[in-house]
Amino acid sequence: MSELIKKVTQLLNDKTVDVFIGYGKGSADRIRAIFVRSAEQTEKLVLNSACTQNLAGYILKQEVKHLGKIGVLANVAALRSMLQLASEFQVKDGEVLALFANPDGTLTEFIDFHSIEVFLTTTDTGITSDEQERIAQLEALTVSERWNFWNKEFEKCIKCYACRAACPMCYCHRCTTDVNQPQWIPVASHERGNLDYHLMRAMHLAGRCVNCGECASACPMDIPLNLLTYQLISPIKTGFGATAGMKADAVYALSTYKPDDKENFII
Amino acid sequence: MQEFEPKIVAFVCNWCTYAGADLTGTSRIKYDANVKIIRFPCTGRIDFMILMKAFENGADGIIVSGCHPNDCHYSTGNFHARRRWIVFRNLLNFAGIETERIQFSWVSAAEGFKWADVVNNTVKKIREFGPNENYKKIAVSTLFNEEGTSNE
Amino acid sequence: MEQQNIYQPYLMEIEKITEEAPMVKTFRLKFTNEEEGNNFSFRTGQFGEYSVFGEGEVTFCVASPHTRKGYIECTFREAGRVTTELASLNEGDTIGFRGPYGNIFPIDDWKGKNLLFIAGGIALPPMRSVIWSCLDQRDQFKDISILYGARSVADLVYKQELEEWKERPDVNLVTTVDPGGETPTWKGDVGFVPTILDRMKPVSENTIAIVCGPPVMIKFTFPVLEKYGFSDDQVFTTLENRMKCGLGKCGRCNVGKVFVCKDGPVFSRTQLKDLPDEY
Amino acid sequence: MEKELKILKYSDLSKLIERFHAKGFPVLAPVRKGKVVEIELVESLGDIALDVLLSTQSAKKTAFPKVEKVLKYTLAKSGVTQHPVDPDTARETILFGVRPCDASGFKSLDAIFGEAPGDQFYLKKKEKTAIISFSCPEADEYCFCTSVGGGPGNTAGSDLQFTGIGKDEIFVEILTEKGKQIAAIFADLLSDSPAGIDKTKFLADVKVVFDSDKVVENTSASFNNAALWLEQSLRCIGCGACAFVCPTCACFDFQDEQNTKQGVRLRLWDSCGFSLFTLHTSGHNPREVQSQRWRQRIMHKFSYMPQQLHVVGCEGCGRCSRACPVDMNIKEHLTAIAQVG
């Protein structure tokens, strides 16, 4: 903790970064993102097990960018978000400085994408066993049982778009949902609108999702949205050998192909 | 009760399957009339949202068909499409939508007989599956017919 | 009787379509239900919500003057979702119209004064309603001047009416196009509206200026008016914000404590200065 | 009307729901669904989550649903035909077990939709809803009703209010004519209240944290204080969660949906937090960045609504703060605004 404060103070003092995005104390027992812009503000930094939010989403926010060079306290998901964003030409190498807090309290500083790539090769980036189990449970159901499950979940959706706003990969200036010539996804949060929206979002995140879980934790109606995209991680990995957010120069799995891609359903 | 006649929409590539379907016709091969063909420049252009829309607008089944691998008019469109279909089928299945309702196939301009087979088999399969009830419940017409406004 | 469904439009038939400029059309609309048409009235400055069924609604001022009954006209540029669809319609097609909404130009207060209309581009339509209303009771006003500018000659709308106004001895019409937008046969001025206005040396005494146009034009026109002594009470404009309901409920056109749809769209510059810069 | 005070036994509460159903009144009440609490139709008292602090969404959806049909039409070669949509098809319904802030939240909506010309879709539904609110025995750190003129036992907007006193008894306040009619359904279960019951003893202690008048005054003066709004909204990600769970947010959108033969126009919830909310077709956006949109949300509730409609558009329920994915705590921000200048 003191390590972090010391480091961020130094980064701000020698102007390596102008703003450092870290965690601070929030309401009640919550943790929130804070934007540290001076050495005095570093006192507000907090680091504990509740610090799970993927802060990489903020590095693309217009008003944060205006503050100057960004440093960010990145967890594994945030590091992967950065690489994925890099592969989609949203961040340039060296543009954002990332600090990673090791379990032993030390800090690892990443100033370029290469070091993140190397670091991630020895890091567990998979989804949790709990999440795996939930997916397995759903997969064990019949198709119509799954339809009913999702129907019930989507019924709760109020289309507040918190999932989209919280997702570091949902950075489009105009989301497909908001494209209205023609209006492809119904804006209404009725069954059809919700089904369309969530399937569209899952499909657009297939091969890009870095399993940070922000969508599900942002959802005020507690819809397990992350399962939709998590479920696609494994077929994309086994089928095409691709995992999102591991290489800064990766080619998006769904914008490329291999002549011998395996399938068993095309006649 | 009237017997269920499946409505099938076929999204086909202009260069292979469309020509193939044409050949089926000019060869006077008979096939089920349940299918409505929509021509696309390439299977690579067939977005998954177009397929979702077909269901919403009352399709009981969908056929997506294009050039055999390596035969794409634009070299690689069908390869790209194939990848997306693999992922999309996974997603549909996980979301509880019967993937059997979408038949993907490669039909070349010379395969008039194959096109007739694809259509006939799909119609037969969908006939067994029955109407796409899940989607009928959420169609615009359902919204239109719903009684007034409630506060429940 | 209390209106049950305030969001239900009148059905209107497109009686006549006029091509004004590239992408700009004028529709003359008549009520499909004659009785509704007879009961309908509006005042200059008001607007309505025009619907294309299946696409949604779009807001325009009523471009015809309130002194002419039996029909309404709207002029629009093909730009967004609804206007694109609107532009594809033909004479005889049905659209919806909700209105009239909003406040009015205080024409009655202007009687006995000089009027100076300053419009740019597609902003002439909301102005046209006022101009005709005043011309239809010409004896009530003193000098009427119109300064109208567009990007190019082709972009000038209501070309026929411009001719008509030019011919009239009781109207002083100045038309201008942006530098580079002129054609070899162009007889009008060349230059931006504020520049031409400066050259016109408008007299502020007993004059009302009505300004409408794109935000940049307005931004540079106000100082010129100030220079010639126009006070804030002498300058009027009509605002446009994104709207959905037109009735001060949906929240979209909210600027400060006013709703453009309900408390506007016509504002004097005095009122405008009271509002935060969010339009 | 003069309010009437009665006592009801806890054990009789389930009979109330039974009697409402017997009279043909559907009952809407908070129901626990996993981590969220929704306001839904209930069968019996067992379904109702009376112990929860607040439902996840506010009760506004009972009169202002998230999707509502306002128009329907058929399309033919000969043209468009409109079919009337009757705004008045809702049944008389009882909204049971909501909190005082939910009940009083309707006064903002009443002001917005009731202003001429009245929106009958909302008004009719509201008119047909009788509200039985339960005062709050506890509160959490997000609650600030007392700072905006409400309170854990605020009776504004309720037709009946129940307050648990002791283990077995409920203190019943009959507040309106509508409340009296509802109370008549279970009049035999009510006994006269002994004089001198002080319900405040049984209510949560919600501290006043800021002066609402000061917020109203300061918001108007702080419009151009860009630094303030930016500082508060830096972590705002621009979703609509706050507006959609809010009991007083009423901004909406219209969308048409149609197939080849028929179509509907729907009225949907919208939020001033979305970047597209005010975007003009020309590409010009009066509120371009998130801090301006955050300012709009606060200003609308605390400056514009008091000026236009003479109500403060906030009930202090704190739902927006609880729902916010990035922990934008409105209570904290309003306190900061109250202290400006």
| Closest chain B C-alpha to A254 CA, distance in angstroms | 6
Query: Across residues A114-131, what is the average pLDDT?
Result: 92
| Closest chain B C-alpha to A253 CA, distance in angstroms | 9
| Closest chain B C-alpha to D1 CA, distance in angstroms | 27
Q: Which helix (H) or strand (E) holds A249?
A: none
Percent of chain A at pLDDT above 90?
87
Q: Do chains B and C touch (3 or more CB pairs under 8 A)?
A: no
> With an 8 Å Cβ cutoff, are A160 and D238 in contact?
no
CB of D177 within 8 Å of a chain A CB? The answer is no
Look at strands B61-66 and B8-13 and give their pairing. Answer: parallel
- Which of D259, D261, D262, D266 has the highest number of chain B CBs within 10 A, making it the mutation to test binding with B? D259
Closest Cα partner for D292 from D307, D275, D308, D271?
A: D275
Q: A43-83 pLDDT, tens per residue?
A: 999 999 899 999 999 999 999 999 999 999 999 999 999 99
Answer for the pair B147, D85: CB distance below 8 angstroms, yes or no. no
- Indicate the residue of B140, B147, B150 with minimum beta-carbon distance to D258: B140
Closest Cα partner for C68 from C15, C132, C127, C131?
A: C132
| Closest chain C C-alpha to D307 CA, distance in angstroms | 7
Look up residue A69 and give its DSSP letter: S
> With an 8 Å Cβ cutoff, are C4 and D120 in contact?
yes
Closest Cα partner for B101 from B79, B80, B123?
A: B123
What CA–CA distance (Å, rounded) separates D127 from D110?
10
Beta strands in A163-256 (DSSP E): none
Domain that holds residue D325: 209-341
Given a cut of 50, whether residue C225 has pLDDT beyond it is yes
Same domain, D24 and D165: yes
What chain C residue is nearest to A181 in terms of C-alpha separation?
A: C81
Given a cut of 70, whether residue A158 has pLDDT beyond it is yes
When divided into structural domains, chain D yields a total of: 2
The confidence band for A1, taking pLDDT boundaries of 50, 70 and 90, is: low
Asked which of D207, D223, D240 is the last residue of a domain, the reply is: D207
> With an 8 Å Cβ cutoff, are B147 and D261 in contact?
no
Q: Across the strands, what pairs with C174?
A: C147
Closest Cα partner for B73 from B13, B134, B29, B129?
A: B13
CB of A180 within 8 Å of a chain C CB? The answer is yes
Given a cut of 80, whether residue B124 has pLDDT beyond it is yes
- Determine the Cα angle at D142 with ends D136 and D148, to 5°: 75
The confidence band for B152, taking pLDDT boundaries of 50, 70 and 90, is: very low
Same domain, D197 and D218: no
Residues of B in contact with A265 (CB under 8 A): 85, 89, 99, 104
> With an 8 Å Cβ cutoff, are A180 and C81 in contact?
yes
Q: Domain limits of chain A?
A: 2-121, 129-242
For residue A236, give Cα distances in angstroms to A257, C145, D276.
12, 69, 34
Q: C136-178 pLDDT, tens per residue?
A: 888 999 899 999 999 999 989 998 889 999 999 999 999 999 9
| A interface residues, D as partner, C-beta within 8 Å | 26-28, 30-35, 53, 57-58, 61-64, 156, 158-162, 164-166, 174, 178, 183, 186-190, 193, 214, 217-222
Closest Cα partner for D236 from D301, D298, D147?
A: D298
What CA–CA distance (Å, rounded) separates A216 from A202?
12
Query: Would the CA dihedral through C138, C144, C149, C152 be positive or negative?
Result: positive
* Chain B to chain D Cβ contacts (< 8 Å): 57
Beta strands in C167-269 (DSSP E): 171-177, 189-190, 207-212, 235-238, 254-255, 258-259, 266-268
CB of C84 within 8 Å of a chain A CB? The answer is yes
Same domain, D81 and D27: yes
Closest Cα partner for D117 from B148, C4, C97, B150?
A: C4
Mean pLDDT score of chain A: 93
CB of C81 within 8 Å of a chain A CB? The answer is yes
**Residue D191 CB-half CA count within 13 A:** 8
Answer for the pair C97, C49: CB distance below 8 angstroms, yes or no. yes
Residues of A in contact with D274 (CB under 8 A): 161
Q: Which residue has the tokens 């929240």?
A: C251
Look at strands D27-33 and C189-190 and give their pairing. Answer: unpaired
| Token code pair at residue A27 | 């309401």
Q: Which residue has the tokens 């540079």?
A: C220
| Token code pair at residue D70 | 């306002």
Closest Cα partner for C104 from C129, C71, C72?
A: C129
- Per-residue confidence (pLDDT) for residue D37, from 0 to 100: 94
The full set of domains in chain C, from first to last, is: 10-101 (2.40.30.10), 107-238 (3.40.50.80)
Given a cut of 90, whether residue A18 has pLDDT beyond it is yes
| Token code pair at residue B72 | 């794409």
**Residue C170 CB-half CA count within 13 A:** 12
What CA–CA distance (Å, rounded) separates A96 from A92?
8
Residues of A in contact with C81 (CB under 8 A): 180-181, 183
Residues of C in contact with D121 (CB under 8 A): 5
CB of A83 within 8 Å of a chain B CB? The answer is no
Neighbours of C113 (CB within 10 A): 17
For residue C68, give Cα distances in angstroms to A48, C13, C28, C189.
73, 18, 12, 32
Neighbours of D6 (CB within 10 A): 18
Asked which of D179, D207, D235 is the last residue of a domain, the reply is: D207
* Domain B8-145 -> CATH class: alpha beta
What chain B residue is nearest to A143 in terms of C-alpha separation?
A: B96
Query: Would the CA dihedral through B125, B128, B129, B131 be positive or negative?
Result: positive
DSSP notation for B39-102: EES-GGG--HHHHHHHHHTT-SEEEEEEPPTT--TTSSHHHHHHHHHHHHHHHHHHHT--GGGE
Q: Domain limits of chain B?
A: 8-145
Q: Hey, is D62 helix, strand or coil?
A: helix
Q: Which helix (H) or strand (E) holds D173?
A: strand D169-174
Same domain, D81 and D125: yes
- Indicate the residue of B82, B96, B138 with minimum beta-carbon distance to A191: B138
- Which of D70, D89, D98 has the highest number of chain B CBs within 10 A, making it the mutation to test binding with B? D89
Amino acid, single-letter form, for residue D101:
C
Q: Hey, is C242 helix, strand or coil?
A: coil
Q: Could you tell me the strand order of the sheet in which D79-83 lies?
A: D79-83, D67-76, D262-269, D252-258
Look at strands D169-174 and D93-98 and give their pairing. Answer: unpaired
- For residue D230, give every residue at least 6 positions away whose Cβ sits within 8 Å of its Cβ, in sequence order, or none: A63, D291
Cite the DSSP H helix spans in D300-329.
305-309, 319-323
> With an 8 Å Cβ cutoff, are B91 and A203 in contact?
yes
- Per-residue confidence (pLDDT) for residue B1, from 0 to 100: 53
Neighbours of B2 (CB within 10 A): 4
Query: Across residues B64-93, what is the average pLDDT?
Result: 93
Asked which of D207, D227, D260 is the last residue of a domain, the reply is: D207
Q: Do chains C and A touch (3 or more CB pairs under 8 A)?
A: yes
Percent of chain C at pLDDT above 70?
99
- Per-residue confidence (pLDDT) for residue C1, from 0 to 100: 45
| Closest chain A C-alpha to B28 CA, distance in angstroms | 23
More confident of the two residues A176 and B2: A176
The confidence band for C2, taking pLDDT boundaries of 50, 70 and 90, is: low
> With an 8 Å Cβ cutoff, are A232 and B91 in contact?
yes
pLDDT by residue for chain D (341 residues), tens only, comes to 788 899 999 999 999 999 999 999 999 999 999 899 999 999 999 999 988 999 999 999 999 999 999 999 999 888 889 998 888 888 999 999 999 999 999 999 999 999 988 999 999 999 999 999 999 999 999 999 999 999 999 999 999 999 999 888 999 999 999 999 999 999 999 898 888 888 898 999 999 999 999 999 898 888 888 899 999 999 999 999 999 999 999 999 999 999 888 999 999 999 999 999 999 888 889 999 999 999 999 999 999 999 989 999 999 999 999 999 999 999 999 999 998 86
What CA–CA distance (Å, rounded) separates A13 from A16?
8
Q: Across the strands, what pairs with D326?
A: none
Query: Across residues A100-123, what is the average pLDDT?
Result: 92
In chain A, the N- to C-terminal Cα span, in Å, equals: 59
Q: Subunits touching D (CB < 8 Å, at least 3 pairs)?
A: A, B, C
> With an 8 Å Cβ cutoff, are D71 and C5 in contact?
yes
Given a cut of 60, whether residue A187 has pLDDT beyond it is yes
Its ipTM equals: 0.91
Q: Which residue has the tokens 């749809």?
A: C261
Same domain, D242 and D110: no
DSSP notation for D176-232: SHHHHHHHHHTGGGEEEPPTT--GGGGS------S-HHHHHHHHHHTTT-HHHHHHH
| Token code pair at residue D331 | 């209570």
In chain B, the N- to C-terminal Cα span, in Å, equals: 34
Cis (ω within 30 of 0) for the bond into A182? yes
- Per-residue confidence (pLDDT) for residue B151, from 0 to 100: 47
What CA–CA distance (Å, rounded) separates D317 from D340?
23
CB of A149 within 8 Å of a chain B CB? The answer is yes
Look at strands C235-238 and C266-268 and give their pairing. Answer: antiparallel
What CA–CA distance (Å, rounded) separates D262 from D264?
7
Residues of C in contact with A180 (CB under 8 A): 81
- Per-residue confidence (pLDDT) for residue C4, from 0 to 100: 84
| Closest chain B C-alpha to A159 CA, distance in angstroms | 17
Residues of D in contact with C244 (CB under 8 A): 252-254
| Closest chain B C-alpha to A100 CA, distance in angstroms | 33
Same domain, D146 and D241: no
Query: Across residues A138-145, what is the average pLDDT?
Result: 94
Residues of D in contact with A62 (CB under 8 A): 289-290
Given a cut of 80, whether residue A99 has pLDDT beyond it is yes
Answer for the pair D121, D70: CB distance below 8 angstroms, yes or no. yes
Q: Hey, is D107 helix, strand or coil?
A: helix
Same domain, D132 and D232: no
Look at strands D129-134 and D160-165 and give their pairing. Answer: parallel
Given a cut of 90, whether residue B92 has pLDDT beyond it is yes
- Tell me the Cα Rg of chain C: 18
CB of D269 within 8 Å of a chain A CB? The answer is yes
Q: Across the strands, what pairs with A138?
A: none
